[in-house]
Structure 1
């Protein structure tokens, strides 16, 4: 017997049209898990957008929109095939820029040689004049002017970098180009290269675009107003090795708090080849066309000037609502109590994701509520993924498991009473730390709302349960009222407080009323 694992399907409807179209196309073509297809499309969008916009979502300086996507997936899930589609235009752009950079280097070398020759001539003239005690002030002025005309090579963008160390990441953003993506469909290459070995620097760049590193022998590297997107797909064994070596630092530093993480179920064994069927509709070309339009803005002498994206009033209200819902779950026994770091970054991830998707669709200056609600669905889904992978059970979940194990061990004792057991009797066989009657009742109420049993009170303040879940052959058919609510309080002296407690438990366990079709972000929290 276990507490239900909340693992909803990926909210594909949260994506904007062009991104959603590509995600669906990759999914049809490669039969890869849908979350992986969607994240490939989102990563490509973010990589193309991050040098063009910032997002202002609170009373603070605007933030970069760089993201950190971590996908843990088995070998054979077609990670490479997904990226070949989603990052096609990025790789073509990088190849083109690499050719241009080679030509730039040749031209720069020629200009540098001419400049060096002129400088040497001026220095020689100054030296000869000084030897003959001739006034060289005019020559020195010419040298000073010449020094200010030192040729520089044009900075060429590079969208994708990999197999690189943490200091090299900083140098790339500082000296080569301030916007880049640390991307690999074999994430073990990046994890083993040490690119994430300085999580404090990655955090700083993610937060504000600024970062500083000091290396013995290499001096100080300063990064300003940059943006870095990390997109790693890594096999479970490699990821476990990374966590064993560096996991504590990654979590303790807060780097993993910035992740949008997933470990989707494998589709291997279900991807059968059928007769060829032509795929109609959007095959991703609208996505690739938009990527080309965005990347063309980097192919200029000067860096693109990043626009500042803001939110409509309705969109900001949704962000504030989401932030408040997250805050409530940070309390002890809250859903995100054991993963406070990643939960506190969720609203900012929403703002960044919404800004990128909005700009990708060619939206107006202000980000609208529809895009924000889509981003909330996606980020909430990733929160649940992270919780299943990294966060331990809450104390209440542990109590439920222990009481269920105890009932399962002793339920045969109550077969004669058709599974009906008084609270005091149940307490005799409960785990020792749950035998205090009020504490036991709180756990019993949780089980009732999970559908494991019914509980109702009797005159005199006592209560009893019906273990119909464990003894279906002996239990009488529960009434419609009991099936609907699982609990009744007719006689309890503190009936109002008990009903409030039931309402709280509904929020904790995800109990929903019939007819509630709103999107469920996590148990007990529906998107308004």
Structure 2
């Protein structure tokens, strides 16, 4: 038995798995050492007293290890010695905790400073290239990747990764319970938890699912518990590293422990019999076997999860009793919003806002595009071909329920426009005040002449001189200064035209309540045709004279208008009923880029606002730069925007896009039923291309890259128009059935099941009223698209399997598929 207490203490440190320091000082002070034996590392700590019964404690800040120690003196301690020892232990604990708190606070402050100074990483960083992954939100600082480690809405520490793969944590920073998020949890079917950043990136890129990166196996349980607290109803999959060469396989052990703690699932990569040396995680699996193998692993784990808690057998799923499902009329499948088609700065800002607001992605993107159109429309027009020119303005219409946060999205992106408008109002305030004073003086003089004319008439005197003075005065009426006012509210179309003609020739109508506009008095049966025609002219950038009986007539010329609206589906249906065929027959709605995204309500857990918005700030800076360029306004008050042309390559792509659509407009073509909308798609595509180009490059010829991204966005909106206008032509009850059918199929494919509880469908599906839901279910049952199965009072919707198209997952190297294990759930 060792009698030297210092040697006993050293042996205890070694037995815990740490590298003990060469020199140990028993002076009762907290000291640090290199727990991994590397120079400049001070993650280890110890504290030892040698007075009385020697006692101490030691640990590692990096792993969270902390142990108390007492020397073996070869006998039992007396009660007094026990009390003295407990007091020492308590004192050491308090000192260690105080030091830990201080170190963590210092590290958090350092981490925040580095995050602020860092820039977004690009995909060409050496480590990312070697791991074949994208940056996924990682930052770059002094040549190293920086991965923020967050918890409770704050950055507590950082992980640094060099191009050669060397990793280190910020000294003194907290690790336990900290994580890095990849992807967006809104609407996700599952949340994955993984050890390393590269593993998490491979999982997200293969599946699209959000991932919480725990940074090491020991932190998996704490990270999983943090995710369970934030998302209590979301299935969690612990994506284990298979550390088959390490004693105890810590990757598997800790993943299983974490899954048991939160009722989660475990997925483990299986490389088959010919496993490459060193292949342990899902990044290795993705590189060697492809993304399909990763998707198969997660898919098999999800196959074991049932949101309604029932046990479903393969025989039940594959029952031969199912008839062939009948088609739903006019049903068009939705497509994912092409976020990657947006210019990089806009895409990053949209992702950043969507991650916090959790509104539908298409709605967030439409808010950004509305601001882009509003900022650029005064400066550029676009030429498609000879004799085919027009504005770059956009009309955007998002169809969604109240509460989808359209106003919130607009608020995030409108910041630069609102600032510009306020700055211009302050700048022009002296001129406005001078004009108002001159107008008051002019009005007083005019009223005096009118009173004199009235008095002369009563007394029989001549009024010729007075009338001549009045005519001369009328020509000297002060003119109001033109103050930029870009954001207009719920204006009637005629008042909107007056403001464009008299106040400022470039403006936008942005509203989350389009019903106030489309349902206004100006859209009544007697005036709807005139006002729809007026808005059509403004979209085209044309000229229109408006005569008034009771006030001054005026002409709108060279004006540009952006419209970005949200409307509820019943309100739009009512507008159609009220306007008859005019809304589509006049081409009004055909000019809109329509979005009809699935609601995210019910899938928006609370999250704290980020401390910084670097991508949104960059978007605002560019919008401000464009707005601060002088608007090209002629003496007549009309805009004279610069005409942008397409490069030869972009022109060829535009012609190809135009002709592909044109071919489908003929009878029997895919776009025949929406030919009014489709005929404007090529025009909208080139408008978007002009906006993308100006935002990214300024004035100049529009390149192929801008047009290709724009055409993808325009094509997506065209598909949305097909979806909506196709279903709008259906009776309301069949349209409801189509909406429910789409939601059920998407939900079942995502969750890898064919059974959905009726109560679950009512709570989370698109139809929240019982009568409406029951009617839609009856429609779908009659079309053999679902069956209603009852067990007592419980009703379950069984979806026809042929609608779901499940495919067996791909295997790695044609060997065994990735293994999945279920922990904590009982079928």
Q: Name the TM-score, length of structure 1 as normaliser.
A: 0.65
Structure 1 position 367, deviation (Å):
0.4
Q: Is the 8 A contact 2:391 2:541 kept in 1?
A: yes
- Alpha carbons of structure 1 residues 146 and 327: separation in structure 2 relative to 1, 3 Å: same
Q: Secondary structure at the match of 1:84?
A: helix
The aligned counterpart of 2:371 is 44
CA distance in 2 between partners of 1:216 and 1:145 (Å): 24
Instruction: Tell me, yes or no, if structure 1 residue 372 matches structure 2 residue 699.
Output: no
Match of 1:244 in 2: 577
Tell me which of 169, 193, 198 is aligned to 2:496: 169
Task: After TM superposition, list the pairs within 5 Å mapping 1:220-231 onto structure 2.
Answer: 220-231=553-564
CA distance in 2, matches of 1:168, 1:275: 41
What residue number does 1:232 align with?
565
Q: Between Structure 1 and Structure 2, how many residues are aligned?
A: 386
CA distance in 2, matches of 1:277, 1:88: 17
Partners of 1:218 and 1:111 lie apart in 2 by 21
Shift of 1:150: 5.2
Summarize the Cα distance change of 1:66–1:380 in structure 2 as closer, same or farther, 3 Å threshold: same
Task: Please point out which of 533, 540, 557 is paired with 1:200.
Answer: 533
Decide whether aligned partners of structure 1 residues 195 and 36 sit closer, same or farther in structure 2, where only a CA change above 3 A counts.
farther
Q: Alpha-carbon deviation of 1:207?
A: 1.4
Q: From the superposition, tell whether residues 254 and 111 of structure 1 become closer, same or farther in structure 2 (CA, over 3 Å).
A: same
8 Å Cα contact 1:171-1:221 kept in structure 2: yes
Give SS of 1:6's match. Answer: coil
* Residue aligning to 2:627: 295
Residue of structure 2 in register with 1:481 after alignment? none
> Residues 61, 212 of structure 1: CA spacing in aligned structure 2 closer, same or farther, 3 A cutoff?
farther
Deviations 1:8-53 (A, max 9, x none): 1001111112221221111111011110111110100000111111
Query: Is 112-121 or 4-13 further displaced after alignment?
Result: 112-121
- Secondary structure of the residue aligned to 1:183 is strand
The offset of 1:371, in angstroms, is 0.6
- Aligned 8 A contact 1:11 1:377 in 2: yes
Cα distance, 1:68 vs structure 2: 0.7
**Greater displacement, 291-300 / 256-265:** 291-300
Residues 439-454 of structure 1 mapped to structure 2, 5 A cutoff: none
Deviation at 1:339, TM superposition (A): 1.0
The alignment partner of 2:606 has SS state of coil
Offset at residue 176 of structure 1 (A): 1.2
Cα distance in 1 for residues equivalent to 2:632 and 2:655: 38
Q: Is 1:210 aligned to 2:543, yes or no?
A: yes
- Tell me, in whole angstroms, the C-alpha distance in 2 between the residues paired with 1:333 and 1:144: 65
Aligned counterpart, 1:480: none
Report the Cα offset of residue 92 of structure 1: 2.7
Please state how far the C-alpha of 1:219 moved relative to its aligned partner. 5.5
Is 2:510–2:565's contact at 8 Å kept on the other side of the alignment?
yes
Matched ranges for 1:250-261 at <5 A: 250-261=583-594
Deviation at 1:251, TM superposition (A): 0.7
The within-5 A match list for 1:100-499 is 100=427, 102-112=429-439, 151-194=478-521, 197=528, 198-218=531-551, 220-246=553-579, 248-273=581-606, 282-298=614-630, 305-391=640-726
Measure the CA separation in 2 of the matches of 1:301 and 1:338: 41
Displacement, 1:216? 3.6
Name the CA shift for 1:7/1:89 in 2 (closer, same or farther; >3 Å).
Answer: same
Structure scoring higher RCO (CA < 8 A, sep ≥ 6) equals 1
Aligned to 2:344: 17
Q: 1:195 to 1:43 in 2, by over 3 A?
A: farther
Cα distance change, pair 115–74 in 1 and its aligned pair in 2 (3 A): closer
Distance of 1:112 and 1:276 partners within structure 2: 48
Q: CA deviation at 1:191?
A: 2.0
* Contact kept? 1:186, 1:233, Cα under 8 Å: yes
1:14 and 1:194, CA in 2 relative to 1: closer, same or farther beyond 3 A?
A: farther
Gaps of 5+ in 2: 1-324, 453-467, 730-800, 806-827
Q: CA deviation at 1:82?
A: 0.5
* Aligned-pair CA distance for 1:116: 7.8
State the TM-score, normalizing by the size of structure 2.
Answer: 0.43
Q: State which structure, 1 or 2, has the greater radius of gyration over its C-alpha atoms.
A: 2
2:772 aligned residue: none
Maintained 8 Å contact 2:573/2:728 = no
CA contact (8 A) 1:93 1:295 kept: yes
8 Å Cα contact 1:209/1:227 also seen in 2 = no
Counterpart secondary structure, 2:390: coil
RMSD over equivalenced CA pairs, Å: 3.7
Asked if 1:31 is matched to 2:363, the reply is no
Distance 1:300 1:253 in 2: 31
Deviation by residue 1:253-312 (Cα, 9 ceiling, x = unmatched):
1101101001100112222235887668x4311110111112223589977752111110
The answer to whether the 8 A contact 2:392-2:691 is kept is yes
Task: Tell me, in whole angstroms, the C-alpha distance in 2 between the residues paired with 1:348 and 1:320.
Answer: 11
How far off its partner does 1:188 sit? Answer: 1.8
CA distance in structure 2 between the aligned counterparts of 1:14 and 1:274, rounded to whole angstroms: 28
Aligned-partner Cα distance in 2 for 1:155–1:364: 25
Which residue number corresponds to residue 511 of structure 1? none
Aligned twin of 2:152: none
Deviation at 1:104, TM superposition (A): 2.8
Structure 1 residues 103 and 238, CA gap change in structure 2 (3 angstroms): farther
Report deviation, 1:112: 4.4
Aligned partners of 1:164 and 1:194 also within 8 Å: no
| Cα 1:193/1:119, change in 2 over 3 Å | closer
Offset of 1:194 from its aligned partner? 4.6
Task: After superposition, give the CA deviation of every residue in 1:423-463 in whole Å (9 maximum; x if it has no partner).
Answer: xxxxxxxxxxxxxxxxxxxxxxxxxxxxxxxxxxxxxxxxx
Which residue in 2 is equivalent to 1:431? none
Q: Verify the 8 A CA contact 1:162 1:183 in the aligned structure 2.
A: yes
Output the CA distance in 2 between the equivalents of 1:71 and 1:330.
24
